[in-house]
Structure 1
Amino acid sequence: MKNSNSFSSILFCLFSSFLFPFISSTTPSWPPMNSRHAVSTAATPPPPLQLHIIDQHVVMDNGIIKVNLSNPKGMVNGIEYGGIENLLSTDNDEDDRGYWDIVWNLEGSSGTKGILDRLETTDFKVIVENEEQIELSFSRTYNNSSTGGKLIPLNIDKRFVMLRNSSGFYTYAIYEHLKEWPAFNLDNTRIAFKPRKDKFHYMAVADKRQRLMPLPDDRKPPRGQALAYPEAVLLVDPIEPQFKGEVDDKYQYGCESKDSRVHGWISTDPPIGLWQISPTEEFRSGGPLKQFLTSHVGPTTLTVFHSTHYAGEDMVIKFGDNEPWKKVFGPIFIHLNSLPEGEDPLRLWQNAKEQMMAEVQSWPYGFIASEDFPKSDQRGTVSGRFLIRERYVSDESVPASGAYVGLALPGGLGSWQNESKGYQFWTRADQNGSFSLNNVRSGNYSLYGWVPNFIGNYQYSAFIVVTPGSDINVGELVFEPPRDGPTLWEIGIPDRTAAEFYIPDPNPKYINKLYVNHSDRFRQYGLWERYAELYPNEDLVYTVGLSDYKKDWFFAQVTRKIGDNKYAGTTWKIKFQLDSPDTHGTYRLRLALATAHAAELQVRLNDAQALPPLFTTGLIGKDNTVARHGIHGLYRLYTVDIPGGELVVGNNTILLTQASSNSPFVGIMYDYIRLEGPLTSKM
């Protein structure tokens, strides 16, 4: 927000006037902060926890919050807080308010769609019950003979934890696949909460990504008009006129895993916040850059642990026969906060961020009862120093300041970005290149890394075996990024995104007001259509030395519409000059892609009709980043050898053809392009 005070005042007036009148009789005080939990300022100590088991419901109560769970299904039917009997949607069925779910499929299935399982459980057990803590287990044991193959072949154990004097509760789950059970695919798993639509209208996922939101009714015909895919809806007659003409799409509010620590909703009738807090990313798949859904119109708030979004089928977890597996997802913290009447509602967001930091500092939690969740003294540490040696930058190794360094299951170079079965631990190196990965679970890992502003991936040559209490120092690690000759020219910044390239203004008919004049302008709907408007007759031409990639390189190489539901591939040209090409040397073109979707990138030199092309990627990618308003998906790096004898004195042209043409969402986003000359060449 450019002017938070002004914006807060406007927001408060909006809340107070017609959307959310304050009800002072039900307004609780905002719990003060101390470490992880709210601490009472009253003279008397906080009340002990209470557990009530009533027919088909279980209620956890610590005097601040009551959580009602179905017994034995393990669904969150209600959250009572701040004088409101239920913060969750009472319009929904009890099983559709707060729940874990999985999307899965049979072995051998293709694609990323499957069978939805709300993970209804069959057994309830009290794990811990005392004045300080309650931990409940709702479980389901897989039995192939009794389910007839209709349930996912996993043991499911959903846990819910409440602590004394805590303004919220924790939840986590343990999934287990035994060796003798059937093979299957796992596409998606998450936990979802659906707050009341008559209360929660303001959503926050980041400091600069928060706003009043439309109602779910606005998305339904005739108030809403579906656009190119069901998630995107044009609000043509919303209940609140301020949203008229806007596009609503849940993908506009996704976040990278490393930035998705806290998000949720605010009500001011009374002023209450409901937040999901993830204290770590260790249980998520795909590494720190993997993008996940967060909160969106519903109102809905999600913690997604695994999904194929922005990655495609490469991200599906495929279990084979005789493959045992167990993983703990979470815990996450469901945080409730409140304010006295008249206070700025945005203070609830500030408090949620403070609570998130307290949860991060308390990780790994010491109170979790499951033996599958290791405490701090059962974990290990891996440290070292990350250096980079790039002979065209420095003759010596230099500290890799800001490098990403991480541990993930052993695999190939860069395999961490679509790894999904194990745990991952990531950090950033300091200015000296030093790094420390703390609280690492026991296990066998590979150590991976990459450095912003340099292409390529690093992988340590030896496995890292972490045991309880181990403190492993790997010493100095030297990363030599791909490089065979001097840079003749380059386009972009090697940061694994296309954010630095030209992102057009959206069609005024399809805007989200949040992203007008916003750093994340790529999240606007329909930007793929702007390419043909900007290049109606000929494709993009970029002239080295004259063009500016910030203005002249469109952020996505997409298809061109040539008729009703017909599209054509596009060919972009990079023109450059060589005064005296080395006819005996080999030049190298480095193509770093930020994402690809059902695309084929062909490279030619000086002849647009050359067959076969000098290079082709073949059909790559199912990232679907263009349609989902992203700026990157899976990172891909290609090296194209260009024989010096095929270059000419003077003007040369590299032609980049995206040949696939199935839809408007087929395409490529480039991260960075570089032409390297032979060691003795001169431009």
Structure 2
Amino acid sequence: MKWLSTLRRAALGLVLGMVCPAHGQDAKSEAVTLNDRGKEVVLKNDKVEVTLNKGASTITSIRMGDNDMVARGKPVYYSMGGGASYRQPTGAAFRIVESTPEIAHVAFLQKWKPGSPQAVDIEVHYALTRGESGVYTYATLAHPKDYPDSGVGEWRMVWGMPAKNDREWLMEKIRVDALRDWEMPSPADLAKAKPTGIKEIISITSGPRAGQNDCKYDFNLEYHSVGCWGQASDKNHVGAWIVLGGYDFFNDGPTKQDLSSASGIIHIHFGRNHYEGSSTKLTAGEDWRKIYGPFLLYCNQGGNADQLWEDARRKAGIERKKWPYAWVEDKALYPPAAQRGTVSGKLTLRDPLKPKLTATGAWVGLSQPDPGSNWQNESNRYQYWSKVADDGSFTIPHVRPGNYTLNAFTDGVVEEFEKSNVTVKEGSNPTGDLAWDVKHHGKKIEWEIGIPNRRATEFALGKDYFHGYGWDRFSKLYKNPLVYTTGKSDPAKDWNYVQGAYSKNGKVMPWPWEIHFDLNEVPASGTATLVVAWASAESARVDFDLNGDKIASLNPTGGGNALLRESVHAKYSYDYIDIPVSKLHRGANRLVLTQTRNQSPACHVMYDYLALELP
């Protein structure tokens, strides 16, 4: 009932309006202060008090009312690499960038030392503004031209979540998306958990998650799709969130994913190196700098976990409107809005075999990939992405001036649109009307399995993929071989989201998948095409046999270990297999797909889409 929905929204607004912090810079809010205490510096407004450790470049405390939103002994920190290449920006030179009643902004610069890993300088910034319930942060990396060849892979910020005591968290619920919004194991549950054969996965033996596994990869996210993630409490009525205003500093485009929240922790990965992330590669003589952020460490209070999550998502919308932030110091690295460009146009999609398909909802973006590469594998520079409206129009705001490649992709199309040499200057940059004529190898689509959408979500278990050791379910749920009959089988039930190995009585064996299809007629001549789009592939080789004859054997590109890392896709790719029509039969046909490498559960493929196109 409409009145009931309105009443619920009003009640939520009343709860959050009374207790949750105001958004933006409230004129009635108290001035921001900065107190340098020697080893610490404290930034304070009337919403939060933020304590920074000057020797470690970390946040040791974010006090909101009676609660500290940072774990004791587990500060908010930036780090890079792992193992022998692990690095934190400790011992950095501290400076005050700005201190006024409106903002307290400080920075910590750690210069690279020859012989140490990652030949880049790291400068971490924290900024508290008037009336804001949280602290902004960002970091810049610099590789002067006299530094040697180097690179940056894993590059992140980590926020330790506080516990009330050794038995319970201050915030007991994780909130990242509609599929993953559960109560996490308590500190006591984690202490009792048992290890498994994979170090990141533990088996929970007590509490609300008893009998299930727990792993940081349970909560991998496509950052562009959510805007915020974090943790909140029904019991204590507080929440802690990563809130994004902009995305231009992330690598590999809007389909890229990485870690978000997990039990007792919140991550943000800038290099998004998991799931086959493209590392930043730097060469001697290259003068390179990049800014990562700013983003907001947002704290709220006053509602239950769902209300606090809704408030954080609303806050993400507000931050998007503020982007780019005027207070960022380095105007060359982070130009203000007036020095950026807006790219706009209209995209018309024409697919002769799918005439109802339009460009509505397509991603359209600008990137600067290396020659021969594309946006899926670009990390050194910035990318800008937006969605196409119902009428085909698009607007990409706040683009740094430069020369770009414009790409578009959408559900329903295997390949993508590309326009090179798009020059962006300050102000308005109209592209005019862009025509995307979708190409096909055949004249008729005989059958399809799935939707070309760069992920395997529409298949069986495709919305239940985020579980450690999930592959153990496959041999319990499916027969060997898996048989799919076009026109009769349901892809959401009969086609699993991943093809790996098959286990029976402790033995591992290949798991062939059969596609049965009937043809009323076979073309007299020409070549048919099997379209295979891959959502993920890891150490895989797939043999294709049609009616008893091998027609192809492919090693699909990809990597990223998406099955073990509990995802539904990694890097996207596609292949076309030519089939002489003489190999097709009038009546019954059988196509067999066998993933032949079974030395590890990691070996797998995830199909995004398969289709047979006839000449």
Q: What TM-score, normalized by structure 1, do the two folds share?
A: 0.82
Counterpart CA distance in 2 for 1:353 and 1:543 is 43
> What pairs up with 1:519-668 in 2 under 5 angstroms?
520-536=463-479, 538-561=480-503, 567-607=508-548, 610=549, 613-618=550-555, 620-668=557-605
2:191 matches 1:201 = no
Asked whether the equivalents of residues 360 and 389 of structure 2 are also in contact (C-alpha less than 8 Å), the reply is yes
Distance 1:605 1:411, change over 3 A: farther
Q: Report the alpha carbon displacement of residue 598 of structure 1 after superposing the two structures with TM.
A: 1.1
Asked whether the equivalents of residues 537 and 556 of structure 2 are also in contact (C-alpha less than 8 Å), the reply is no
The match for 1:478 is 436
2:70 matches 1:88 = yes
Could you tell me which of 156, 164, 183 is aligned with 1:212? 183
3-state SS of paired residue (1:212): coil
> What pairs up with 1:327-346 in 2 under 5 angstroms?
327-339=290-302, 344-346=304-306
Post-superposition CA distance 1:169-188 (Å, at most 9, x none): 10011101122212223221
Post-superposition CA distance 1:194-238 (Å, at most 9, x none): 121222222222355323211244234xx21223412222112x3
The match for 2:449 is 491
Counterpart CA distance in 2 for 1:605 and 1:269 is 59
2:108 matches 1:98 = no
Letter paired with 2:587: G
The match for 1:374 is 335
Q: Report the alpha carbon displacement of residue 344 of structure 1 after superposing the two structures with TM.
A: 4.0
Counterpart CA distance in 2 for 1:531 and 1:345 is 34
**Equivalent pairs, count:** 597
Letter paired with 2:136: Y
Counterpart CA distance in 2 for 1:235 and 1:370 is 47
2:614 matches 1:673 = no
Counterpart CA distance in 2 for 1:569 and 1:413 is 35
CA RMSD in angstroms, aligned pairs only: 2.6
The match for 1:309 is 274
The match for 2:97 is 127
Counterpart CA distance in 2 for 1:555 and 1:267 is 33
> What pairs up with 1:447-462 in 2 under 5 angstroms?
447-460=406-419, 462=420
Q: Report the alpha carbon displacement of residue 413 of structure 1 after superposing the two structures with TM.
A: 7.9
Asked whether the equivalents of residues 560 and 664 of structure 1 are also in contact (C-alpha less than 8 Å), the reply is no
Asked whether the equivalents of residues 583 and 647 of structure 1 are also in contact (C-alpha less than 8 Å), the reply is no
Post-superposition CA distance 1:476-498 (Å, at most 9, x none): 23242434321111111222221
Counterpart CA distance in 1 for 2:21 and 2:77 is 29
Q: Report the alpha carbon displacement of residue 654 of structure 1 after superposing the two structures with TM.
A: 1.6
Counterpart CA distance in 1 for 2:443 and 2:91 is 60
Distance 1:617 1:66, change over 3 A: same
2:225 matches 1:259 = yes
Post-superposition CA distance 1:525-545 (Å, at most 9, x none): 433222222345x31122223
Distance 1:121 1:567, change over 3 A: farther
Instruction: Give the gaps of 5 or more residues in structure 1.
Output: 9-27, 105-112, 504-518, 679-683
Post-superposition CA distance 1:596-630 (Å, at most 9, x none): 111112222222xx5xx422222643221112221
Letter paired with 1:89: A
Letter paired with 2:502: R
Post-superposition CA distance 1:420-468 (Å, at most 9, x none): 11111111111121111111112221111112112112211x3122233
Overall identity of the aligned pairs, in %: 28
The match for 2:214 is 248
3-state SS of paired residue (2:541): strand
Could you tell me which of 21, 34, 51 is aligned with 1:51? 34
Asked whether the equivalents of residues 495 and 671 of structure 1 are also in contact (C-alpha less than 8 Å), the reply is yes
2:463 matches 1:500 = no
Asked whether the equivalents of residues 201 and 267 of structure 1 are also in contact (C-alpha less than 8 Å), the reply is yes
Letter paired with 2:470: L
3-state SS of paired residue (2:284): coil
The match for 1:234 is 203
Q: What TM-score, normalized by structure 2, do the two folds share?
A: 0.91
3-state SS of paired residue (2:270): strand
Counterpart CA distance in 2 for 1:308 and 1:114 is 17
Post-superposition CA distance 1:125-163 (Å, at most 9, x none): 11111111111110012242xxxx124211111111111
Could you tell me which of 14, 23, 30 is aligned with 2:19? 30
Q: Report the alpha carbon displacement of residue 347 of structure 1 after superposing the two structures with TM.
A: 2.6
Q: Report the alpha carbon displacement of residue 362 of structure 1 after superposing the two structures with TM.
A: 0.9
Farther off after superposition, 57-66 or 414-423: 414-423
Letter paired with 2:362: A
Counterpart CA distance in 1 for 2:261 and 2:134 is 18
Farther off after superposition, 260-269 or 59-68: 260-269
> What pairs up with 1:113-124 in 2 under 5 angstroms?
115-124=85-94
Instruction: Give the gaps of 5 or more residues in structure 2.
Output: 9-16, 165-169
